[in-house]
Amino acid sequence: MIEFSSLNPYDTLQAVYGDSPEDLINQLRAIRTPIKIVAIVPLGTRHVAYIMGDIRTSTIRKKGIKNGSKDSGSA
């Protein structure tokens, strides 16, 4: 069964600010988890990227897996 903590698809929306386009790119590359870039916009002299985390990795529960180990059924 798939369980969601929120039905809002933008629940994980975050803003990342950069002083220049290169600074923003470096900050986005430093993020090690899967992200989706929703938009990149200028904000005065700065740049902002609106990103969302990849919610599929943390919301799907698989059958047979409990506490990080797979039930093998052997004794």
Integer Cα distance of 59 and 67 in angstroms = 15
Q: Answer with the residue of higher pLDDT: 63 or 14.
A: 14
58-62 average pLDDT score = 44
Averaged pLDDT score across all residues of the chain: 77
User: What tokens does 59 get?
Assistant: 């919301």
Q: pTM score > 0.75 for this model?
A: no
Say what the pLDDT of residue 6 is: 74
CA 23 to chain centre: 20
| Domain range annotation of the chain | 1-60
pLDDT in tens, 19-50: 999 999 999 999 888 899 999 999 999 999 99
Give me the torsion for CA of 36, 42, 46, 47, rounded to 10°: 10
